[in-house]
Structure 1
Amino acid sequence: MVGQTGQLQGVDAAGLFPDPGFALYVHWPFCASKCPYCDFNSHVRESVDHESWAEGLLRELDHFADLTPGRRLTSVFFGGGTPSLMRPETVAAILRRADERWGLPAGTEVTLEANPTSVEAAKFRGFRAAGVNRVSLGIQSLNEADLKALGRRHSAEDALGAIALARDLFPRYSFDLIYARPGQTVAAWREELHRALDHAVGHLSLYQLTIEEGTQFHTLHARGDLVLPAEEVQGDLYAMTQEVLNAAGLPAYEVSNHARPGQESRHNLTYWRYGDYVGIGPGAHGRLTLEGEKRATRTHRAPEVWLERTLSTGTGAKPFEPVAAQDRLTEMLMMGLRLSEGVPLARVQAETGKPLADWLAPDALRRLQRIGMLEQVGQGAGTVLRATSDGRERLNAVLAALLG
């Protein structure tokens, strides 16, 4: 079963690069309220039939386990929505079934997302007893006015109390903050970051606010009632974030994620390294190599539709779709260039059947290297393509230029 602490994943079969791993993602779609910036598959319901939802998740887990015999999990992640609204008994049942069907070696990372408003000592102890050994807290701000503007239901005091509780009960924890908020200055963000670092131990996620279609913020932004900091200020906020976190010993291992060495999110590394993962629950996505072919999986987004189909047929999954070689390349680069470690060129060839240069427009790679956006390090089978710090800051433009 799940051990007390995590262990770093091994290396790939060639012994050159970290093994991407094999992960399980469990989606809990319910929230106490919908945040105005959020475009995740989350829903507010007056009541939830927890027994039926536990049964549905277990049945879909079994469905995917039948397709992937012999695999061993390297991480489990309960996301949402607000998974801390789940019953600890449901989490325990899912982890037991995952151990029975795939195996959860000692030290497997098991993360659960939580909001400070859904945190209480007894429930957190229940999650810890169920096998969760890492929590990720959705703090988003330590500023009271900005918490209200972001639609959060907790106070800064609630947030700090949740962090303290997580520190006491779990071997590892992380929390999220959002920056580039309306009216935010570099000086104010620097002060907030230093305050956050007083409470961060190994990992911190720092996301720049983006306006997503279908959200309340998108409507407000479109009519001019919500104004983000100027692009130049956003750049200064990003640069200062890197400066402060580097000095604190938590460099960015991914565009928005900072960690001390060895404290990276092993589950998210599976995504960024383009490993296989199972996604269960409404709206969950996955990538699985089945019979030598990479396939994209996704489930029905509507919670009630997903639950009805899962209880009647064993899964709410839609038909799997093969991922063409060109699409695999695009996904590998989109995910892998977010990482400071970059993308192994040998893995690109193994995944797509051709060397990277054969996929790119003539001189695209050399041009991006010449202007300092990309670099190749290592040699031979150990060569890695990675974005520079400037390239990661402008990653969308880099990818557009690289992939044409």
Structure 2
Amino acid sequence: MAFGVYVHFPWCAVHCPYCDFAVSTARPIPQARYADAVLAELALRAPAFEGRELASVYLGGGTPSLWEPDQVARVVAGAAARFGARPREVTLEANPESAADAGRLRAYRDAGVNRLSVGVQSFDAGVLVKLGRRHGPEQAERALRLAGEVFEDVAADLIYGARRSTVATAAADAARLAALPVTHVSAYALTLDPEIMAEEVPFARMRREGRLPLPGDEEVLAQARAIRAGLRRGGLRRYEISNFARPGREAVHNRLYWVGESYLGLGAGAVGALLRPGQGGVRWSNHRGPETYLAAVEAGRAPSAEEEPLDPAAVERERLMLGLRLREGVPLSLVPEARRRELEPLRRGRLAVLGGGRVRLTSRGLDLHSAIAERLLP
């Protein structure tokens, strides 16, 4: 069984107004101390993952490109040594303004990183301003070009459905990205659920108070279609609801989530899950505050803020729901017998394809994923 290591680096230069992740703008950043803590947490949690194949390491955030390359090297080497395997994929997230230095990018490559993921979000200056981003379109393009000179795999994120976003800006973003040395694109609609997002997230609060007008559902769907069309013309294939890749460049780490494999979460605010087929498992989330996290680990304790036991049925439901996000679909065996009567109407409605012992959603079906998954879940 394969698994991935996710390392959360919570520090950012600024806290974007739409972000609900565990982030901190406090200074100075305790560079070495945080790496020490992540390695200590690794030692605490690793025994539960013995005997599994380490497939990937993903350094997310926050802004991991603010972490010094020598500390990143310690963490990557520590994970590889602990599990006796060099992961196939090591991703580091970066903002354009912290990824515009070729020397620093080469230092990350030498640290073991082989894939850079750049938070572009848009190439439209007006959209970037409304998103509270600090970089401009040209800076984002420069970062991607530099990354392409250093790494074979370069990923980029897009956000659509934001203020000032239109079908035209979405299409232009996709066309510009596809012309750059990018091998993978994640494109997400700006989603602000004021019922579940933290009160301190500015956009969630503004949405709750009716002060943040956003495009309607039909407009957002049209923007998504424009992005898909532009990326497809540029050679990037949709292989998951929101993810696109050139042939053979699909994300190793993210695929682990979608097919229901375990993942070892390390760092402040990280989430991890240890899953055992047919036996259920456990999911945990770490303390979000860096100082609380550091204090727990330095005292020799696992820094869990919450732990959730998962029974076998819950694990199977998640495998079905997440697996249906993939273009490859899921084994028919994951669909409960009592729900299989729903499959034929989905096929007739051209929302799903059945064959080879698998259930796959069509492009139209992927757009209706949540509703279809509800029909198939027990």
The question of a shared fold, defined as TM-score above 0.5 by the shorter chain, is answered with: yes
Give 1:259's aligned residue.
245
Task: State the shift of 1:361 in Å.
Answer: 4.5
Amino acid at match of 1:165: L
- Cα deviation code 1:80-131 (max 9, x no counterpart): 11111111111111111112110233x6110000001222233222211100
CA 102–239 in structure 1, closer or farther in 2 if over 3 Å, else same: same
Give 2:351's aligned residue.
373
- The one of 88, 94, 101 equivalent to 2:69 is 88
Task: State the shift of 1:207 in Å.
Answer: 1.2
Instruction: Please say if residues 17 and 203 of structure 2, whose CA atoms lie closer than 8 Å, have aligned partners that are also in contact.
Output: yes
Q: Secondary structure at the match of 2:264?
A: strand
Task: State the shift of 1:334 in Å.
Answer: 2.2
Instruction: Please say if residues 145 and 181 of structure 2, whose CA atoms lie closer than 8 Å, have aligned partners that are also in contact.
Output: no
Q: Secondary structure at the match of 2:146?
A: helix
Alignment of 1:333-352 (within 5 A): 333-346=320-333, 348=334
Alignment of 1:208-357 (within 5 A): 208-212=189-193, 213-214=197-198, 215-289=201-275, 293-318=280-305, 320-346=307-333, 348=334, 356-357=335-336
Instruction: Please say if residues 112 and 135 of structure 1, whose CA atoms lie closer than 8 Å, have aligned partners that are also in contact.
Output: yes
Amino acid at match of 1:235: L
Give 2:145's aligned residue.
164
- Cα deviation code 1:157-190 (max 9, x no counterpart): 2111111111111121111111122233222322
Task: State the shift of 1:387 in Å.
Answer: 1.6
CA distance in 2 between partners of 1:320 and 1:100 (Å)? 27
Instruction: Please say if residues 254 and 338 of structure 1, whose CA atoms lie closer than 8 Å, have aligned partners that are also in contact.
Output: yes
Alignment of 1:92-171 (within 5 A): 92-105=73-86, 108-119=88-99, 120-171=101-152
Greater mean alpha carbon deviation, residues 361-370 or residues 310-319? 361-370
Instruction: Please say if residues 23 and 276 of structure 1, whose CA atoms lie closer than 8 Å, have aligned partners that are also in contact.
Output: yes
Instruction: Please say if residues 124 and 169 of structure 2, whose CA atoms lie closer than 8 Å, have aligned partners that are also in contact.
Output: no
Give the alignment's Cα RMSD to 1 decimal: 2.0
Give 1:4's aligned residue.
none
Give 1:185's aligned residue.
166
- The one of 18, 23, 37 equivalent to 2:18 is 37
Task: State the shift of 1:320 in Å.
Answer: 4.5
Task: State the shift of 1:216 in Å.
Answer: 1.3
CA 77–337 in structure 1, closer or farther in 2 if over 3 Å, else same: same
Give 1:10's aligned residue.
none
Give 1:3's aligned residue.
none
Structure 1, unpaired ranges of 5+: 1-19, 349-355
Instruction: Please say if residues 59 and 315 of structure 1, whose CA atoms lie closer than 8 Å, have aligned partners that are also in contact.
Output: no
Q: Secondary structure at the match of 1:313?
A: coil
Amino acid at match of 2:336: A
CA distance in 1 between partners of 2:145 and 2:336 (Å)? 49
Instruction: Please say if residues 320 and 377 of structure 2, whose CA atoms lie closer than 8 Å, have aligned partners that are also in contact.
Output: no
CA distance in 2 between partners of 1:73 and 1:45 (Å)? 33
Greater mean alpha carbon deviation, residues 62-71 or residues 47-56? 62-71
Amino acid at match of 1:369: R
Task: State the shift of 1:332 in Å.
Answer: 0.9
Give 2:367's aligned residue.
393
- TM-score when scaled to structure 1? 0.86
Instruction: Please say if residues 11 and 62 of structure 2, whose CA atoms lie closer than 8 Å, have aligned partners that are also in contact.
Output: yes
CA 233–329 in structure 1, closer or farther in 2 if over 3 Å, else same: same
Task: State the shift of 1:42 in Å.
Answer: 1.4
More strand by share: 2
Instruction: Please say if residues 175 and 231 of structure 2, whose CA atoms lie closer than 8 Å, have aligned partners that are also in contact.
Output: no
CA distance in 2 between partners of 1:210 and 1:294 (Å)? 29
Task: Say yes or no: does 1:76 pair with 2:50.
Answer: no
Q: Secondary structure at the match of 1:74?
A: strand
Give 1:364's aligned residue.
342
Amino acid at match of 2:363: S
Task: State the shift of 1:389 in Å.
Answer: 1.0
CA distance in 1 between partners of 2:147 and 2:28 (Å)? 27
CA 96–339 in structure 1, closer or farther in 2 if over 3 Å, else same: same
- TM-score when scaled to structure 2? 0.92
Aligned residues: 371
Alignment of 1:16-31 (within 5 A): 21-31=2-12
Q: Secondary structure at the match of 1:70?
A: coil
Q: Secondary structure at the match of 2:336?
A: helix
Task: State the shift of 1:316 in Å.
Answer: 0.9
Task: State the shift of 1:222 in Å.
Answer: 3.1
Q: Percent identity?
A: 38
